[in-house]
Amino acid sequence: MARIVKLPVSPPKKLGPKKAKRRRKPNLEDYGQLNLFAQPPKEGKVVSMHQQESFFEQALQLDDEGKPEAEKYYLLAIENKQREVDAYCNLGIIKSQQEDLAESINYLTKALELNPRHFEAHYNLANVYSDMGNFPLAKTHYEVSISIDPDFPDSYYNLGLVLISLKQYERAIKAINTYIEHSPESDHSVASELLKTLKSFAL
């Protein structure tokens, strides 16, 4: 008669998803290693990796510091097609500070050639034209800059001064009033004095 032999079978393991369990951290020193990371340093120092700045950013920083090398870096930015419009615009400012107004206009108009609605280029060009005493052109560029960015208060103030020079007192009053509406209260005193004088002219 056949004998039924019972094979030693271990109960099958439960298959299915496995939960992630928190394991006890092994003590490295038990394995003959130094436990270097057991105590994290009290003050962690974040070291940023060196990032390659663009020529434009370097120029901007040098310009902020009033360093003459800024001009060279703006030109390098243009050469490398980095923020060409802004670089031309800022070169225009540098040239105006050097009282080279013709070159300043050259750079600012180059900026406008690339972006005809570049706010800063129009505003700065208007400033250069007012320095030159060309008030009709200054007025036009202030007006264009206002149409691009109507919230920038300085455009209204400078437009007001140009309108005074053009003896358009009522329009100047309007521009100075708009400047007051858009600017912080701390800047109102001079503008208010100017308004008083203007009103006596206009009447």
Partner 1 sequence: MKDSNELLADHFERLKSLVPDLYIREHDRSPTPNTDAMYGLLKRTLGIVEAIYLKNANGFNDARMEEYAKVIQELKELGFEYSGHEELMDKAASKLLMKAKKPMKRAKGGTEFDQGKSDRKAI
Q: List interacting residues with partner 1 (CB under 8 A).
A: 56-57, 60, 63, 83-86, 89-90, 93, 96, 111, 114-115, 117-118, 120-121, 123-124, 127, 130-131, 133, 135, 152, 154, 157-158, 161-162, 164-165, 190
Give 158 or 178: the residue with its C-beta nearer to partner 1. 158
Considering beta carbons, is residue 29 or 193 the nearer one to partner 1? Answer: 193
In whole angstroms, how close is the CB of 202 to partner 1 at the nearest point? 16
Q: CB-based burial of residue 184 (10 Å sphere; 0-12 exposed, 13-18 middle, 19+ buried)?
A: exposed
Shortest distance (Å) from residue 65 CB to partner 1: 13
Count Cβ atoms within 10 A of the Cβ of residue 171 and give its class: 0-12 exposed, 13-18 middle, 19 or more buried. middle
- Given a contact cutoff of 8 angstroms between Cβ atoms, the answer to whether 158 and 126 are in contact is yes
- For residue 203 the two structure tokens come to 């009447």
CB closer to partner 1, 28 vs 114: 114
Virtual torsion, Cα 128, 133, 137, 143, nearest 10 deg: 70
| Shortest Cβ 92–partner 1 spacing (Å) | 8
